[in-house]
Homo-oligomer: A and B are copies of this chain.
Amino acid sequence: MFAKTSMQICLKRWPGILGVLTVALAYSITFAQSDRKFQKPSFPATTTEKFDPSTVPAYARSHIKAYAYIDSNLARHNEHLRRWVRQRSISAQNDGVQQMAAMLRDDLKELGFKEAEVVPTSGHPGVWGYYDAGAAKTLAVYMMYDVQPVEPTGWQVDAFAGAIVDHPLGRVLMARGATNQKGPERAFLNAIEAIIKSGEGMPVNLMVLAEGEEELGSPHYPELIGKYADRLKSASGVLFPFNGQGPDGAVTMNLGVKGIVYFELEARGNPGGGPKTAEVHGSLKAITDSPVWRLNQALASLTSPDGNTILVPGYYDSIRKPTQEEERLVNGMLVSWTEREAMMRQGLGVDRWVDGISGRDSLMRYLFDTTLNIDGIWGGYTGPGVKTILPHMATAKVDSRLVPNQTPDEALRLIRVYLDKKGFTDIVLRKISGYPPAQTSVDTPLVRSMIGTYNKYGMIPSVAPRLAGSAPYHVFTDTLKLPLVAGGLGHGSGAHAPNEYMVIEPKAGSKVAGLADIEKFYVDMLFALSSAR
């Protein structure tokens, strides 16, 4: 998914909360100030209370008919996952997208969905499905059927072969989309099949609304939501099937996401100076303005010299204080964070966080701070050796993660106003995509049922108020006012990277669930969520 790499990181690094911690009273974080005029928000602790997920009652029922069906159909279920990843569906390259949409639609039909159709949008199509269980309650299911490109290269197998590979964690499905998101999604559909075909009986109606543009920033998902808003509003909540375990089996639940605004800043020669149509010889710098210098200066004006404090006036103003619930969640997850952040840095190849922070400081900044990040920058000659040119243009891709109550358009407006005020009216600011943050309360029955399902399996989750990454959940939480939970058992990694995998058959002794247990968890989860009140 859009923020998958980060999600994977979180899932890997945050174990279940197993201990009890007393946080020092009123411990105040003051983030290092690189610029005295523009101070990052501080998040002093105002409570020592903490949320303890182990107190949520474990889901108590068992669904043995469905479990037995899963066990006796496991090989075929595994083939469903392989069939899905073999179907290319690279949204950025429009490669196989239509075929994957059709495959999803056909699978829903095969499962007995009363409605199953490919839904045109202004971009790649969506897929709508409605399963009528004759139940009083309806759950919505968010799905994405697109995948990232396979670049950068470095795959040890054909990324679209559905290879089953021996891995330090066990037997894994190694393919593009294995964990992001086809593997868990098709495992979820396998679970539905088991409930239906085993005679266990579907406890809820389901509304599936899948998109084929998640990897593009979900530009047309609001359009899809708009078409089915009236029907979706009748749902009691939204599920997103998701491999929720780290490689050690630890589970993290994220109750929200940061928003994002993704944009490009570009400098080109223009009537005010610089070459307008093509690069010129570098010696002309003596009398010719340089678009690369302009872009560089404009970018540099946005942050402190360390790149960590945003100097755009007002950029931090709309950020609200953490709520009591958020503080309780943070307090609850602090032990595991403190234990894990060094391991997380090691995995990332990062020796220290910004300003050398750690513990509550780093956790708060990770979850509660907005960002300004350069994803890429390019201009002029980038090959080996020497070429002396004055380029006519330079471009940077920039993203800002948004926390409540920031919005994409207001963030861009502030940046534009600031650039203009600093004299950078020549710099083009081009919005690419964006959406606001989203959040669901830990006190909703849906979330508590989900925690309870984990607790049944002894997988007490670490519950984070949000993910530091982004996903378009706002269409559910804000537009439709529905609670959303993402999760499931299972572990995968390598989303957006080579050798993406999902564990199918874990090594003996591993706490990571294999495909059968993943599906059984989804069975329980559906029953638990359907009875949530």
Q: In this assembly, does A531 line the interface, its C-beta being within 8 Å of a C-beta of chain B?
A: no
Verify A379–B376 contact, CB threshold 8 A.
yes
> Can you name 15 A-B pairs with beta carbons within 8 Å?
A9-B280, A262-B388, A269-B351, A273-B351, A280-B348, A290-B374, A292-B377, A294-B307, A296-B377, A297-B306, A373-B390, A375-B391, A376-B382, A377-B377, A378-B378
Given contacts A273-B354, A386-B433, contact A371 B401 (CB under 8 A): no
Nearest CB of B to A33, in Å:
15
Q: Is the CB of B283 within 8 A of A351?
A: no
B282 touches A353 (CB 8 A): no
- CB of A6 closer than 8 Å to a CB of B: yes
- Chain A 268-303, CB within 8 Å of chain B: the 1/0 string? 011111111110111111111110111011011101
Quick one: which of B349, B382, B386, B423 contacts A216, CB cutoff 8 A?
B386
- Which of A200-208, A362-370, A457-465 lies at the binding interface? A362-370
CB of B397 within 8 A of CB of A381, answer: yes
A289 touches which one: B270, B300, B306, B372 (CB < 8 A)?
Answer: B306
Starting from the known contacts A287-B353, A377-B378, 14 additional A-B residue pairs (CB-CB under 8 Å) come to A92-B385, A273-B352, A275-B349, A283-B468, A283-B470, A286-B370, A293-B303, A297-B306, A375-B389, A376-B379, A376-B387, A376-B389, A385-B432, A386-B432
Query: Cα distance A402–B282 when bound, in Å?
Result: 12
When A and B form their complex, which 10 residue pairs have the shortest distance between CB atoms, in order from nearest?
A293-B307, A300-B300, A376-B380, A5-B281, A285-B373, A376-B381, A277-B349, A285-B371, A6-B281, A283-B469
Let me know if A357 is at the binding interface, CB within 8 A.
Answer: yes
Residue A258 lies at the interface, judged by CB distance under 8 Å to chain B? yes
User: Are the CB atoms of A381 and B388 closer together than 8 Å?
Assistant: no
Which of B292, B305, B350 is close to A280, meaning CB atoms less than 8 Å apart? B350
